[in-house]
A = this chain, B = another copy of it.
């Protein structure tokens, strides 16, 4: 099969790879219908995370089940499925509490590289959710979004307790879908922090009521100005840098909630500032599986259209250009078709 492999910073190649095979009776193999490039893939692509060996890329996927292990009970060959980047048994206490990304038996599905024609998904019964039928083609981008970028933005909004009240978000792809989530969760006022025309436009389509272009201390001051001097109730951090994390904490009122879903890189939170900030902090790798049934329903019923976040669609063989366009911020998010 064909699959994308990162050889070194900036060097993504699509090449022949061995087809995945069932290795445990709880596995399933899927034929990938659509996959995409994640903001977190760029940490590797830019060399921030060291690349020590050729690494299959991608952890977002939708597709059709082609093979199941002997113990898989809830899925059948031919099912169209959406899954998360972490496999989960969905039965342990952690899963039952809704934290499937930290399942006692969690495995990173992306280890096999989802930017490929086929993918092995461990713990298939607990990881994959079948759609009500074969989706129309135009629903595929949105279903793919549910696999990570929407699921993660949604978790950010839930972790930040977005709802009636105000919400502030970043402007990455996840941030934009956190806007969509905040809107669905009933937030009346949603402030998007963005300096890019195309992203501002999409933020407004997804439900943003205000746009703040300033960053850092000026951004914090602007948020305070917009919220009676108090700061926002709910702030979603979707980047993962020291600057964005501190901006999120400082933009939140005492007693407010920060939901952080940007994978932290080099972040150190100063304890004393955090203590006196008196905010709620919650986040981590999104337990997408918790939200999948509801997200699939909203997409299936065409109540939300998160697929709009993909502003570049390429054949899998052009994965390198897909990474490059995101790295240069020419694209918000790239969908790849195997």
Minimum Cβ distance to chain B for residue A74 (Å)? 23
Minimum CB–CB distance for A13 against chain B, Å: 29
* CB neighbors of B among A250-278 (8 A): 253-255, 260, 263-272, 274-278
Shortest beta-carbon distance from A95 to chain B in Å? 10
Among B229, B268, B284, contact of A104 (Cβ-Cβ < 8 Å): B229
Chain B residue with Cβ nearest A106 = B254
A255 interface neighbour in B97, B240, B268, B272, Cβ under 8 Å: B97
A133 at the interface (CB under 8 A from B): no
Smallest CB separation, A251 vs chain B (Å)? 15
Interface check A98, CB cutoff 8 A: yes
Is A269 touching B269 in the complex (CB atoms < 8 A)? yes
CB <8 Å contact, A275 and B285: yes
Number of A interface residues, CB 8 Å? 41
Compute how far the CA of A268 lies from the CA of B280 in the bound complex, rounded to whole angstroms: 17
Q: Inside 8 A of A255's CB, which chain B residues have their CB? A: 94, 97-99, 102, 287
In the bound assembly, the distance between CA atoms of A229 and B104 in angstroms comes to 9
B276 and A285 form a contact (CB under 8 A): yes
| A228: Cβ under 8 A from any B Cβ | yes
Known: A94-B254, A230-B94. Contact between A272 and B267, CB under 8 A?
yes
Cα separation A101 to B254 with both chains bound (whole Å): 9
Bound complex: CA of A267 vs CA of B271, how far in Å? 5
Kindly state the separation between the CA atoms of A228 and B97 in the bound complex, as whole angstroms. 15
Asked if A2 is an interface residue, CB under 8 A from chain B, the answer is no
- Measured between beta carbons, the chain B residues less than 8 angstroms from A281 are 274, 280-282
The reply to whether the CB of A32 lies closer than 8 angstroms to some CB of chain B is no
Q: Is the CB of A284 within 8 A of B102?
A: no
Which chain A residues have a beta carbon within 8 Å of chain B's beta carbons? Answer: 93-94, 97-99, 101-102, 104, 228-230, 240, 242, 245, 253-255, 260, 263-272, 274-285, 287
Q: What would be 23 A-B contacts, judged by CB atoms less than 8 Å apart? A: A93-B230, A93-B253, A94-B230, A97-B253, A98-B255, A99-B254, A101-B254, A101-B278, A102-B254, A102-B276, A102-B278, A104-B229, A240-B271, A245-B271, A255-B287, A267-B270, A268-B269, A268-B271, A269-B271, A274-B284, A276-B285, A279-B282, A280-B282
Closest 4 CB pairs of A and B: A267-B271, A278-B284, A102-B254, A264-B271
Interface contacts beyond A240-B271, A266-B271: sample of 19 additional A-B pairs, CB < 8 Å, sorted by A: A93-B230, A94-B230, A94-B254, A94-B255, A97-B253, A99-B255, A101-B278, A104-B229, A260-B275, A265-B272, A267-B271, A267-B274, A268-B268, A268-B271, A269-B269, A269-B274, A275-B283, A280-B280, A281-B282
